Amino acid sequence: MLSGKQIAQNQQKFTNTSVNEVLNTLLSNQGIGYKEVNVRIVLFEEDKTATVRQEEITITGTVKDEGGLPLPGVSVLAKPNGKGTGTNTDGQFTLKAPSNGSLQFSSMGFVTREIQINGNPKIDVVLKSDDKNLDEVVVIAYGTQKKVTVTGAVASISTKEIKQSPAANLAVTLAGRLPGLTAIQNSGEPGRDLTRLYLRGLGTLNGQNPIILVDGVERDLGYIDPNEVENITILKDASSTALFGVRGANGVILVTTKRGTSDKPIISLTTEYGQQDFTRIPEVLSSYDWVRLKNEAWRNDNPNVAANDPVNKPPYSDYALERFRLQDQPEAYPQNDWRDMLMNKSVPQVRYNMNLSGGGDVTKYFVNLGFLNQDGQWKVADDLKYNPEAFLKRYNFRSNIDVMLNKSKTLKTFLNAAGYLEKVNQPNTETTEILGRINGLWPVVQPGPLAPNGEVLIGSSGSYGESPWAYINRSGYRQETRSNITASWGLEQDLSILTKGLSAKLMASFDTKSLYNLTGNQTYQRWIQSIDPNTQTPDGKDIVKYERTRTDLDNTPLSTSTSTTFESFYNVQLQAGYQRTFGKHAVSGLLLGQQESRIRPADRLPYNLLGVAFRTSYGYDSKYFLEFNMGYNGSEQFAKGKRFGFFPSVSGAWVISNESFFTQNDLLNTFKIRASYGKVGSDQLGSRRFLYLDDIQRQGSGGYSGTLGRGGLITENFIGNPNVQWEIAKKLNLGLDLKLFQSFDITFDYFNEKRSNVLISRGTVPAIYGLPQGNLAPFNMGIVSNKGYELEVNYNKILNQDLSFVLKGNFNKAKNNLEFRDEPLLPEEYAYRTRATGYPIGQNFGYEIDRYFTSQQDITESGLSYTGRAPRPGDFKYKDLNNDKIIDEKDIAPIGYSIVPQYTFGAGLSVNYKNFDVSALFQGVAKVSNYISSSETNDFRNRHLNAWTAERAASGAKIEYPALSTSLSASNRQNEFYIEDTGFIRLKNVEVGFTFPTSLSSKIGAKSLRLYTNGFNLITWDRLKNKDIDPELSGINAYPVYRIFNGGINVIF
């Protein structure tokens, strides 16, 4: 034990200083050392004789982070003499230490390093960020906490991980990185690449989106420049989301943007250039193979027609087959790859960024400017006087300023301003329509997009439709100019003058959005091609003719129209906070009141939200933690008397490893258990407002005419429900946090949610009620359960001064069950009597397949009859699940899984060796199914080459598809062949970087210079039978998902 006499009195004042720096200063030259044991500091008397015997040398060096930036304020401790110092603003230090001792470098948020001196007078060090240090501060609802005190289920990632992805949409970059978060990209279209986000799967039939708050205010995620972001945190259980009350049921995503520091100005410049192509492109058959399959399909449809029948003949003669094979008359017998003709294989993406940060004791600032240009894939004609190309151009701005208003630093004001301006361009035809036409165009229909006279060619005689080339180049264009300005101003007051630990904060936020639509429209002539079967040219070639069709449509000049819409939003928050420690007791509290209003273009009245929130927490001796949260919210969406709801939660944690009975060891360093339970709500009830009001309308004269005369017609458009209210989610969470070998972090959470009051349309109201189903009010009757678990594992190891690595992984399961939907039971003869109740939300249904029918005799002997189209040899033999010998809707069964993944996972690796860094991320989903369209008649692909034929079946050849048909067959209905497993594993990101030594970067006046290359959506492994689409897409007509190869340079001054 050390007595007070052994430690000289030394009173100094420290501000924003780490514990290590304080101790190094106070204990300097006193012969007193210290060490950290979990969260305790142990002082001890140093071995004076040993210290004297060791020769001291002066050591200098520089400490930097992984990006090459100097780190100020790093504690440098010499061992064993206990001398210490800190790095200056340039990351430099000077210290006397024993020549055969060691230096320990530590700083909050970084992994502590210890390096042997070995007589070396110069030691440069790179500190690696420590994202999993239990002493780190993490973002929670309306505040921050030390991670060791957190009792709820939260997870976060830093700006470094976010910027490893070159994706244009910030939401896409989150896939695979956070336990409990599922991100599905449904489209790669520039400016419209929206991503579905689920926290812990799906728990409701209605609004499923988590709320997204940027610096405490609800805002969009997809438009944010990743260079602005400090970290992103997700809140998953009731404890962490109860403060959001009626909006917290689907979870919360918190985005914290960067702020200035008390340091010299730092300018960061980044330039990136990338090339985008598609992760998957539909394979195209040669015209020869296509016409062979067309004839095969015809023969399947006409099995009794003789081969030499002079009347009934296949669509293509042997002569035509030979022409397509030889390609000696390409105008009459073309071979087209329409995607290749109309879409570029790769297009550029360019990003520029500049940010400035710094400040002093009074003012701190962070300013960011960004520009992104993402091109689309359409090929545009050179002679156009307008641009129908698909592209996105986005300009970003953000400025965060903090100013101390008094010398005592107890009053601070801040101003956060941000905005974006983006232009999104596309042809004047919906993308799905263009792609649908491209995919539906046969390779044989016409020689190209234009007739010889330059007019639009839309097909051949007897087979034509609109031209996708004209959709792109002759229909006009659409351009959206989107702008958004956001501003938050606030005051923070330290009220310790009243009572220590008390503070107050006021924040007022205002957002405005505008959407300017510019549409250019024009029409064009349509021409078709035909081949004269009776005449040929002197050299024996078929004569091709062109004629105009749709003479009512002509080429017109471009006409334009415009429209503008506006949206505004304001939010006011007032909060009081309290945080204080009394010996072993730590208490904190938060009281928050807020009011917000949002006006959208289609709304006659604003959306309003009013509420208060309260949090109190207690900790004892860094071992036991208890927290209570409460949200009380009101919304005008509900009737008077039902507009406010109370949403409480309670949670606790026990850090067992801080107990006196827990023996400190090198194996298990941290052992913490958590539990929470609470109630949260959701008011995402669809687009219709004021569901409690009736909609009764009188429609002028007319209506009933009889002996009573003729009067106005009164209609009941909608019958309101005065009892409608928000959904209620009761959530249980059990968690475990472990740290092993000082490097191995494990977090496990089990969750169980019961969602009640789910708004549904009544299914058991009899028709005699007299109103259509759509005119009846929905009721809070639905019940959904959702449960699962999450596992996150991180291994962080520094092998030596030059080599370190991090391994990360997360695995999540979330399975829901729709327990009640007021769904009427189907009659008893149905094999499955419900289509929703008792199954996961989005469960796929269809026919189960037994095998292929092998012959007409096989069909007859089966005794089965099909409703709709009768089966042919080579069609699917469906299972007669109710044993009535009829294949109809009564045999439909649940097939595969839900459309929402049950499993989500990610695994990452990062390695740092000297000035090189390498990182990779694998991401995937499992137990998820989607219905891939079965209407593939005449849309032949490579897999149709192995379709069923009697010859192929008899030979035992591989069969990948049922017998082809020129029209829809018995096989072309929703069944387990077309309901595919869309799970996948994807190499989501790879990045390789090199940071130049300071000796080189300083020659251009830079503190850091880094070159890097990265890739996005690089390789995908899946089990799809249909290899023409990406597993994240819902069908072949969706705009494909991008793969990006990118390179960049970052210079910091």
Cα-Cα-Cα-Cα dihedral of 51, 54, 56, 61, to 10°? -90
Tens digits of per-residue pLDDT, 911-940? 999 899 999 999 999 999 999 876 666 788
| pLDDT confidence tier of residue 585, bands split at 50, 70 and 90 | very high
Above 50 in pLDDT, residue 48? no
Bridge partner residues of 566 (DSSP): 514
702 versus 1052: the higher-pLDDT residue is 1052
Distance from the Cα of residue 916 to its chain's centroid = 29
What the chain holds in terms of domains, given with CATH numbers, is 4-126 (2.60.40.1120), 137-262 (2.170.130.10)
Above 50 in pLDDT, residue 298? yes
Q: Give the Cα separation of 439 and 281 in Å (integer).
A: 11
Bridge partner residues of 791 (DSSP): 748, 811
Mean pLDDT of 430-435: 92
| pLDDT confidence tier of residue 508, bands split at 50, 70 and 90 | very high
The HSE-up count of residue 649 (CA atoms within 13 Å, CB side) is 37
Tens digits of per-residue pLDDT, 683-729? 888 778 888 888 887 766 555 545 555 556 777 788 888 999 989 99
Above 60 in pLDDT, residue 1? no
Asked if residue 1024 lies in contact with residue 982, where contact means CB atoms within 8 angstroms, the answer is yes
Sheet holding 75-79, edge to edge: 84-86, 75-79, 102-106, 113-116
Q: Rounded to 5, what percent of the chain is helix, strand, coil? A: 10, 45, 40
Question: Buried b vs exposed e over 443-478: b needs ≥16 C-beta within 10 Å?
Answer: bbbbbebbbeeebbbbbbeeebebbbbbbbbbbbbb
871 versus 767: the higher-pLDDT residue is 871
Relative to beta strand 668-682, strand 727-740 is: antiparallel
- What the block records as the tokens of 919 is 């990182």
**What does each C-alpha distance from 526 to 467, 929, 994 come to in angstroms?**
9, 41, 56
Above 50 in pLDDT, residue 49? no
User: Which pLDDT does position 806 carry in this prediction?
Assistant: 93
DSSP-derived letter for residue 155 is E
| pLDDT confidence tier of residue 53, bands split at 50, 70 and 90 | very low
Tens digits of per-residue pLDDT, 266-279? 999 999 999 999 99
Number of other residues whose CB lies within 10 A of the CB of residue 809: 17
Above 90 in pLDDT, residue 485? yes
| pLDDT confidence tier of residue 900, bands split at 50, 70 and 90 | very high
Written as one letter, the residue type at 965 is: S
* pLDDT, mean over the chain: 88
Above 60 in pLDDT, residue 166? yes
Tens digits of per-residue pLDDT, 72-83? 878 888 887 777
Name, in order, each residue with C-beta under 8 angstroms of 841's C-beta and a sequence gap of 6 or more.
Answer: 202, 204, 205, 784, 816, 818, 898, 900
Mean pLDDT of 737-763: 92
* Range from 406-415, 648-657, 1014-1023 carrying the lowest mean pLDDT: 406-415
Tens digits of per-residue pLDDT, 174-222? 999 999 999 999 899 999 987 899 999 999 999 888 999 999 999 988 8
| pLDDT confidence tier of residue 735, bands split at 50, 70 and 90 | very high
| pLDDT confidence tier of residue 974, bands split at 50, 70 and 90 | very high
Tens digits of per-residue pLDDT, 378-418? 999 988 889 999 999 999 999 999 999 998 888 999 999 99
Mean pLDDT of 941-962: 93
User: Which pLDDT does position 439 carry in this prediction?
Assistant: 86
Question: Buried b vs exposed e over 779-808: b needs ≥16 C-beta within 10 Å?
Answer: bbbbbbebbbbbbbbbbbebeeeeebbbbb
User: Which pLDDT does position 37 carry in this prediction?
Assistant: 43
Question: Buried b vs exposed e over 931-968: b needs ≥16 C-beta within 10 Å?
Answer: bbebebebbbbeebeebbbeeebeeeeeeebbbbbbee
Percent of the chain residues past pLDDT 70, beyond the cut: 92
Above 80 in pLDDT, residue 339? yes
Above 80 in pLDDT, residue 503? yes
User: Which pLDDT does position 320 carry in this prediction?
Assistant: 92
User: Which pLDDT does position 89 carry in this prediction?
Assistant: 75
At 793, which helix (H) or strand (E)?
strand 779-798
- What the block records as the tokens of 91 is 């990351």
Q: Give the Cα separation of 509 and 989 in Å (integer).
A: 36
User: Which pLDDT does position 5 carry in this prediction?
Assistant: 45
Mean pLDDT of 541-569: 91
User: Which pLDDT does position 35 carry in this prediction?
Assistant: 54
Which has the closest alpha carbon to 460: 382, 579, 544? 544
| pLDDT confidence tier of residue 441, bands split at 50, 70 and 90 | confident
